[in-house]
């Protein structure tokens, strides 16, 4: 998010969700996070889906994302958002229904930067 801009807040930082099913329909709602602007100038927030990997020390590395994973996550809004000083915006995260219906997939892990 906007490198070098102070006053930007994001909560929660980590979203983890066990997706269940009701009858044959998968629950695709993952959650949401709030991006706030405590600074003095408007901020343009553009979100990119990336991959994650752990090294031997437990550190997390952000890597290019597989196209399949990027297509599986749905962000709303997906376009860049302008957040005025003192304001915030909610970004909803859900799982694409076609991905959720695949029997060979048990989950995914991604970073939103």
Tell me whether residue 80 is in a domain.
yes
Query: What pLDDT is recorded for position 1?
Result: 47
Round to whole Å and give the CA distance between 2 and 96: 27
- pTM of this structure: 0.75
Q: What is the DSSP string of 61-93?
A: EEEPPPHHHHHHEEEES-S-EEE-TT-EEEEEE
Query: What pLDDT is recorded for position 36?
Result: 92
Give the range of the structural domain holding residue 72, as residue numbers without chain letter.
8-15+22-112
CATH of the domain at 71: 2.60.40
Structure token pair of residue 72 = 């599986």
pLDDT tens per residue across span 16-26: 666 666 555 67
Tell me whether residue 1 is in a domain.
no
Radius of gyration, alpha carbons of the chain: 16
Tell me whether residue 72 is in a domain.
yes
């Amino acid at each position: 998010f906007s490198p070098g801009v102070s006053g930007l807040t994001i909560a929660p930082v980590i979203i983890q969700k066990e997706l269940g099913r009701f009858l044959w329909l998968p629950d695709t709602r993952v959650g949401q996070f709030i991006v706030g602007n405590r600074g003095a100038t408007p901020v343009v927030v553009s979100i990119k889906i990336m991959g994650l990997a752990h090294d031997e020390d437990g550190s997390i590395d952000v890597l290019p994302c597989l196209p399949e994973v990027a297509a599986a996550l749905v962000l709303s809004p997906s376009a860049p958002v302008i957040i005025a000083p003192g304001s915030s915006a909610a970004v909803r995260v859900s799982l694409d229904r076609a991905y959720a219906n695949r029997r060979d997939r048990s989950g995914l892990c991604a970073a939103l930067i």
